Amino acid sequence: MMDGILLGAATAFSMYNILMVIIGCFAGTFIGMIPGLGPISAIALMIPITYGMDPSSGLILISGVYYGAIFGGSTSSILINAPGVAGTVATGFDGYPMAQKGQAGKALAIAAYASFSGGTIAAIFLLFAAPALASVSLSFQSSDYFALMVLGLTAVAAFAGKGKFLKAAIMTVFGLMLATVGTDSDSGIARFTFGRMDLIDGISFLLLAMAAFALSEALMNVLENHKVSKEEEDELKKDIGTLKLTKEEVKEIVPTIGRSSILGFFVGVLPGAGATIASFLAYGMERSFASAKDKLGFGKGSLKGLAAPESANNAACTGSFVPLLTLGIPGSGTTAIILGALLSYGIQPGPTMYIDNPALFWSVIISMYIGNFVLLVLNLPLIPYIAKLLAVPKQLLLPLIMFFSLVGVYLVTFNNFDIYMMTTFAVVALFLRIVDFPMAPMILGFILGGMMEDNLRRALTISDGSLSFLWERPITLSILILTLILLLMPIISEFLDRMKKRKES
């Protein structure tokens, strides 16, 4: 194994492959910032370019694009609340409020540090434990995945302010309902399509996310018609480039980054889970661990709320390479494209890949760490310039956000119906925001809905229609007990606080 690692290090640290990492990270960052062109599109565009390359160099370039796109998606989430990539939706929950408060530079810096740390921790895990973890990921069955999705839904509490849990729950159910639109994967029957062929494939996540966040945010700004005074504008321009973190702020986010990176990596290892679920789970977990005072800051520009999903989504990206490289099973849509690229090079990923192709296997893993370092070095100096985007007058910025949102969604399918549907969703989202309904639980329900249904159906089929799978498998039962504890934690905490106050009085 050590010989293979040394061979991989020699391949990864060659000048040509380092150049490939830099090009990949730079191209990915740029593409990730454009709504509609996520990592899947970016990698698909790169595959023909890599045909003439050595397989190691080609995969190193593709991996760089993958990381860069996730990082670029975070930037657009933070600056204009337009998550171009599903894995960075949760980043905007606290990153965008920070940008609105004139802390865009700090928010981007935290995102860069958290992404680098998450990627580094995950790369270390991947380097030393990839083959062993592959067998663990294979032990997960449908019932375990279903329990994991239920655990993910408990994050809904993280998006509910005080006294708003019912509203958050209603929005989650709304998201779950939207996830049922389209062709049933099991029976092939069209559901809730109202006879329209445009809805046969269901509702696009990108369309829903852009309508709920970017477009409705722009419309909200138009409605509010808030005129920024000269003093406020000068203050905004002065503060957006601030990157420095105080010692207290570093101390605050370091444990969050550690916990979220580990969680993100293990979620990424599970086939089908991915960066999106990892980021939502990390956000929910961090809010559960926060003190009553810190909880109030979530959703309003909390440093922990920004660091948690950023660490987790990057770590999950690295983790998703475990089932791909060691089992040949793609853990997400993006790794499915990478699997296609590997097969086109004539390489079959699997348990013996690190023995048969040590240079490729280990050089890709080592290049992931190099990629994270390159992203940090490339993007930190650029943050003051990127953050200046917020200094663009709103009269110009708002039409641009609307234009890129609509064009980004249209370019995916070239279907006018998507534009009509997106506009309708944006108007509905605008109304819901005015009456103070949170958007995040709807997105969470929509993301988890399809996977929950598929896994529940498979688990019921395996157990012959019985619900006994909920308590018969130790992994399922453990995850469900953890879910119950997380749900009861606020009630128990409040009960203990009241008991303490009674004793004191």
What are the domain boundaries of the chain? Answer: 1-504
Task: Give the list of residues 6+ apart from residue 433 with CB closer than 8 angstroms, or none.
Answer: 216, 220, 439
**3-state SS string for 367-424:** HHHHHHHHHHHHHCCCHHHHHHHHHCCHHHHHHHHHHHHHHHHHHHHCCHHHHHHHHH
pLDDT band at 237; cut points 50, 70, 90: low
Strands 190-191 vs 182-183: parallel, antiparallel or unpaired: antiparallel
CB contact at 8 A, 56 and 365:
no
pLDDT band at 301; cut points 50, 70, 90: confident
Residues 469-481 have pLDDT tens digits of 888 888 889 989 9
Residues 21-59 have pLDDT tens digits of 888 888 888 777 776 566 776 777 777 777 778 888 888
Please provide the average confidence, as pLDDT, over all residues in the chain: 80
pLDDT band at 420; cut points 50, 70, 90: very high
pLDDT band at 428; cut points 50, 70, 90: very high
Specify the pLDDT at position 177.
93
Name the 3-class secondary structure at 183: strand
Q: What percent of the chain has pLDDT over 70?
A: 87
Task: Please state, in angstroms and rounded to a whole number, the distance separating the CA atoms of residues 14 and 144.
Answer: 42
Q: What angle do CA 461, 201, 140 make, to 5 degrees?
A: 35
Task: Please state, in angstroms and rounded to a whole number, the distance separating the CA atoms of residues 290 and 503.
Answer: 24
Task: Please state, in angstroms and rounded to a whole number, the distance separating the CA atoms of residues 15 and 483.
Answer: 48
Taking 80 as the threshold, does the pLDDT of residue 382 lie above it?
A: no
Specify the pLDDT at position 157.
63
Q: Which two tokens stand for residue 415?
A: 């279907």
